[in-house]
Amino acid sequence: MTAKLSQRNSVIAADTARLPAEQGSSRNSDVSALVSDPKSSSTRKLVVTNLSKSFGSTVILKDISFEIEEGEFVCFLGPSGCGKTTLLLCLAGLESPDSGEIYKNGQVITMAPPSQRDVGIVFQSYALFPNLSVYDNIAFGLVNLKWAKDKIREAVGGLVSLLSLEGHENKYASQLSGGQQQRVALARALAVSPSLLLLDEPLSALDAQVRTRLRGEIRDLQQRLKITTVMVTHDQEEAQTLADRIVLMNAGRIEQIGTPWQIYNEPATPFVADFMGVSNLIQGVVSAQDEVACDHFALRCNTQDHPVGTKVQLLLRPEDIALVAPTNMPEHSSVNLLQAIIVKIEYLGAVVRAHVVSATGLTLKVDISKRDFDPALHGVSQALGLTIQTNDIRLFVQ
């Protein structure tokens, strides 16, 4: 057993020996202002205020603040190295912040040990005990709590049934598939009935089909048990599928907090726009009311009363750009219209992505639904028109 696995299993042992306890915003400075008195609401489950953490001279977390309501499923999302796993470990009590506070049910738990936090955690590696059977792994925390054997048998049996592990009770971790190991780790975390479930990229080691199936099972289970859940992931689709809200992080800071719909359709920063889904980001300058001058062309959009001369970036989602045949271009003269040539086609299943270059040299990605795709019209080297509705263009001030 590796030292890392041994350390994590020791944490699980300490954690399970305890006695059971009873919308969109952007940028950390804005998020902090939205965090109210952590003791003001009995329904608020978890409040983090101004949390910071460094390892030596490397800053990992910078003034992190957010709230999580009881029964919510929240995903910490961001690229590798953004601080999301360190933040999760601070919530679990496995890391100590340098400053800031963590409140749970109105009580400060910032420096409390894991055994006093009433949390269950599933690690990326699952950290199952290799010398224990599935049954004994799930029962581990209950044994430490000195439950009666018949009560343990009843609780483990219920979790085995709930997580579809029937017939595997006497197997060891090495005899299980990755998906089965993930279910055992989840059952063990849930056995002690924690009020907060923490998941550290539990699906990242699985293949795509198993990952898709299990994330649906995790969401169904969370909704059935109504347990507050925080999950770390770098997978945008995973976060959008599972989360009630997403905390999107970058370089130790929160870029935006919001529902999956808000994060995708109302990104607060160019980073959010580019990280979530596919984007076309164009540099420009406000040239008139509701008009932005780009390189050798202009686009009409809502300039939000920004003065002429303001440098901006424009976001155009590939699905918001329409391709029209040259013969139909006069019908679209009332909207943004560019002439372009298709230089590459990608077949992505439900959509076909066309890479186009406009007459002004602008390179864009355009998504065409499988229903609307016409090989004769949308082939490489075909000349077409691009139309973009003004309301589909989002503007960021640089």
> One digit per residue, pLDDT tens: the chain, 398 residues?
444 444 444 444 444 444 333 334 444 444 444 344 555 544 458 999 999 999 999 999 999 999 999 999 999 999 999 999 999 999 999 999 999 999 999 999 999 999 899 999 988 888 889 999 999 999 998 998 889 999 999 999 999 988 889 999 999 989 998 888 988 998 999 888 899 999 998 888 777 777 888 888 889 889 988 999 999 999 999 999 999 999 999 999 999 999 999 999 999 999 999 999 999 999 999 999 999 999 889 999 999 889 999 999 999 999 999 998 887 776 656 679 999 999 999 999 999 999 999 988 999 999 999 999 999 889 999 999 999 999 999 999 98
What stretch of H or E contains 160? helix 149-162
Concatenating the DSSP letter of every residue in 344-393 gives EEEE-SSEEEEEEEETTS-EEEEEEETTT--TTTS-TT-EEEEEE-GGGE
C-alpha span between 138 and 191 (Å, rounded): 7
CA atoms within 13 A on the CB side of 192: 31
Give yes or no for a contact between 130 and 165, defined as CB atoms under 8 angstroms apart: no
Contact 63/32 with Cβ under 8 angstroms?
Answer: yes
The model's pTM is 0.83
Contact at 8 Å (CB) between 227 and 71?
yes
| Bridge partners, residue 300, by sequence | 291
- Which residues neighbour 133 within 8 Å (Cβ) at sequence distance 6 or greater? 169, 170, 171, 172
Cα 259–chain centre separation: 10
Consecutive H or E run containing 31 = helix 28-34
Residue type at 237 in one-letter notation:
E
